[in-house]
Structure 1
Amino acid sequence: MATTLRIVVDQMVTPAPNGISRYTEELARALVLTAPRGCTVEGIASALPAEKIAEIEQALPGLAQLHRTTLPRRELAAAWQLGIVPTLGTGMIHSPSLLAPLRRHHREFDQTQMVVTIHDTMAWTHPKSLTPASVAWHKGMAKRARKHADAIVVPTHAVAEQLSEILDFGDRIRVISGAVASNLVLPTDADERAEQLDLPDEYLLAVGTLDPRRGLTSLITGLGQPDAPELPLLVLGPDSWGELTLAAVADEAGLPEGRVRALGYLSDADLAVVLDRARVFIYPSLHEGFGLPLVEAFTFGAPVVHSDDPALVEVAGGAGIAVERGKKGYPERLTAAISSVLDDPDKAARLAVAGADRARAFSWRDSAERVWALHADL
């Protein structure tokens, strides 16, 4: 008798793709490729338009079937939050987020398994980084997970520890990390892409928004110090956050116009080119659940400077330079760490080698196999 694992893939095609969108697609694809003999993978999605369904099916060859619920995404999220699960609430179900048909069940009697993923604790620790509606939804679904989920997947031990202090999941938490996207490889037309992106010959690279949690303002402030490196800073992300703009923050730091530039959201090919040519990659975020950008930078041999956020320290595994967060002097400490790399070619080379080695510790195949093992244990 065939065993079927159903994975919620709805967030692959959200209007504004995000980290969970990519996580969902990569994990689902790897689950299909690593399915044990006699096991198949099916998908669950909201009442998406036909073209979105086709997009999912094209991205996930080998998916046995894609089930569409009768409700659109917004209504489905609200219904599942209320425990209204008219269909698709039985069998082995894995959700790459908290969007899941959580309900009361008896695993030993009806063979139903419910596993959800909680990527971070921001809804509790940094609610201003999310919308009020998103905070309420995440907290509500986490409470349902506490009641009904058979296991909760988190990306790092840091998140596991933080989550345990917020909700009592007992021994149900499992740490299974993500990895770099399979399509993130250096293209053959790298020089042409670099020219189109107007990349400087040398530059610093960061990722994030001006949300205070991301620490980008501290980085820009530090670059305005008299002894700071004079290389331009390119930012993977938007030019503004609310009423704040990169230009305004850079101007307040005393940086000349154009010294800090947003690249927006790039294709995988363009992102690979930008990472490959960066002198130093900086990730100053004050709170993260995993920190995939670190692994991406490691993959392309970029020396990495990051904050000492527990999740980032765990993911980096000593392959980057960790800078103490928060307390007075954070901008200056970031700048000093960057200068230490730029001024010492041997140190930069050592970091590049250590980072490339660390990146090999993360793979989607390994993550998928651990998900299959988790469901087998359940």
Structure 2
Amino acid sequence: MRIGIDATALPPQPVGAGNYIIQLIRALAGINANDEYVIFAQQRGHALISLPENESFEWIILEDRNPGSRLIWEQTLFPRLIRKSGVDLLHSLHYTRPVRLPCASVVTFHDMTFFLYPELHTRAKRLFFPLAIRASARQADALTAISESTRQDAIRVLGISPEKITATQLGVDPAFRPINDTAAMRKIAEKYDLPDRFILYVGLIEPRKNLPMLINAYKCLIDGGENYKLVLVGRYGWMYEDLLRQINNLDLGGMVHFTGYVSQEDLPLVYNLSSLFVYPTIYEGFGLPALEAMACGVPVITTDVSSLPEIVGEAGMLVPVNNVEALYGAMIEVLGDEDLCREMINKGIQRAAKFTWEQTAKLTLQVYQQVMQTG
């Protein structure tokens, strides 16, 4: 089987979906030497994936494009390139695929927020992605979803057959683990100007992540006399200015620290330096940062929505979305109870160990094989 993988959606600073693209390709390279792969990637994506030399993998390196230009290219020039490559199947890793394809097709859906929470997206995305996702759902031979929660949402929202879509839960990189390297941790703390004791959030700074809930709960924590800083890791998304205004209005400017984007190499150490990880999101297709935090031995508090109960299980503490009082109470409980904290750490490490990229790759490969056998 000659498998094409469309990795052209990989951004220069990958987070959830970008990390999925990188890790899936690496894991497929590790488990499958029987098939040939053709990876379509932009120049920056090729550098980020950085596979060892592998004769089963052929790279087609393309010029870097912005997201809008890439989508136009996908529908116009990409089909010709696919035909020329001779692939039997194309796996499109980020919602969309060319309308016309000369081969079998698998498409991955990361979440259904464009349908369930359209207000959390820019106008351009609200207009484009619902149409594109519906087209992909119709035209693809098979679909994958990054969690069972997203799979069920897709079945309900798009009206697709349950047999057509497979949940291929994400994994956690082995680099995310408890680390006791004092020198390395000190270096990272200095690099990002991290405080001694802090509560951590990792993800985009945008409305979907529901950070106002965390800021309000953190304000209660500070007013109650707790001495923890709040560190927000991630690049600014759209409407981040509203969050900055909230922080200033609550006089928390000196207590909340923004690091900006942190590389995957540095991120495990940042997790390890934190006392507590809080993820107050409104909706997640998977919620990879919560899994990474657990793998690093950090207690996790998150919301009881979408995929989070599926991922965290009983290893973390779940609170109702937008319930500031419940989040504040959970933070006080975890930070004030060493036995509970230790129990959550141990359960989190055990829970995270169940999620591997090798398993993601095996499930994905099974989808490829089923498509080719039935096609």
> Smaller-chain TM-score range?
0.7 to 0.9
Structure 2 distance, partners of 1:131, 1:239, is 14
Q: Secondary structure at the match of 1:287?
A: coil
Aligned to 1:156: 147
Q: CA deviation at 1:268?
A: 2.3
Q: Secondary structure at the match of 1:193?
A: helix
Aligned to 2:340: 347
Counterpart of 1:235 (choices 206, 229, 232) is: 232
Structure 1 distance, partners of 2:141, 2:264, is 35
Structure 2 distance, partners of 1:39, 1:163, is 30
Structure 2 distance, partners of 1:246, 1:135, is 22
Q: Secondary structure at the match of 1:5?
A: strand
Change (3 A) 1:76 1:198: closer
Q: CA deviation at 1:206?
A: 1.2
Q: CA deviation at 1:181?
A: 3.5
Structure 2 distance, partners of 1:274, 1:177, is 24
Aligned to 2:114: 123
Between 202-211 and 184-193, report the one with greater CA deviation.
184-193
Query: What pairs with 1:20-35 in structure 2 (closer than 5 Å)?
Result: 20-35=17-32
Q: 8 Å contact 1:223–1:230 — kept in the other structure?
A: no
Q: Deviations over 1:34-61 (max 9, x none)?
A: 115x31222123xx4xx54762674463
Structure 2 length normalisation: TM-score? Answer: 0.86
Change (3 A) 1:18 1:279: closer
Q: Deviations over 1:311-337 (max 9, x none)?
A: 1111101110000113xxx11111100
Specify the code of the residue in structure 1 equivalent to 2:4: R
Aligned to 2:259: 263
Q: Deviations over 1:342-370 (max 9, x none)?
A: 11100000000000001111111111111
Q: Secondary structure at the match of 1:42?
A: strand
Aligned to 1:109: none
Aligned to 1:220: 215
Structure 1 distance, partners of 2:3, 2:156, is 31
Q: Secondary structure at the match of 2:277?
A: strand
Between 169-178 and 127-136, report the one with greater CA deviation.
127-136
Q: Secondary structure at the match of 1:319?
A: coil
Structure 2 distance, partners of 1:71, 1:270, is 25
Counterpart of 2:192 (choices 185, 191, 197) is: 197
The answer for unaligned runs of 5 or more in structure 2 is none
Change (3 A) 1:68 1:236: closer
Aligned to 1:88: 82
- RMSD of aligned Cα (Å): 2.7
Change (3 A) 1:66 1:315: same
Counterpart of 1:300 (choices 274, 296, 299) is: 296
Q: Secondary structure at the match of 1:159?
A: helix
Structure 2 distance, partners of 1:247, 1:52, is 31
Q: 8 Å contact 2:110–2:146 — kept in the other structure?
A: yes
Q: CA deviation at 1:291?
A: 0.1
Moved >6 Å (runs of 4+):
none
Q: Deviations over 1:190-242 (max 9, x none)?
A: 22222332222211111235533212111111222243733111111246753
Between 136-145 and 206-215, report the one with greater CA deviation.
206-215
Higher RCO (CA-CA < 8 Å; seq separation 6+)? 2
Between 330-339 and 85-94, report the one with greater CA deviation.
85-94
Between 190-199 and 237-246, report the one with greater CA deviation.
237-246
Q: 8 Å contact 1:246–1:260 — kept in the other structure?
A: no
Specify the code of the residue in structure 1 equivalent to 2:72: A
The answer for unaligned runs of 5 or more in structure 1 is 106-111
Is 2:268 the counterpart of 1:275? no
How many aligned residue pairs are there?
360
Aligned to 1:336: 329
Q: Secondary structure at the match of 1:293?
A: helix
Structure 1 length normalisation: TM-score? Answer: 0.86
Q: Secondary structure at the match of 2:27?
A: helix
Q: Secondary structure at the match of 2:144?
A: strand
Specify the code of the residue in structure 2 equivalent to 1:282: V
Specify the code of the residue in structure 2 equivalent to 1:32: A
Between 274-283 and 207-216, report the one with greater CA deviation.
207-216
Q: Secondary structure at the match of 2:4?
A: strand
Structure 2 distance, partners of 1:351, 1:22, is 26
Q: Secondary structure at the match of 1:289?
A: coil
Change (3 A) 1:243 1:219: closer
Q: 8 Å contact 1:207–1:235 — kept in the other structure?
A: yes
Is 2:206 the counterpart of 1:211? yes
Change (3 A) 1:18 1:209: closer
Change (3 A) 1:343 1:243: closer
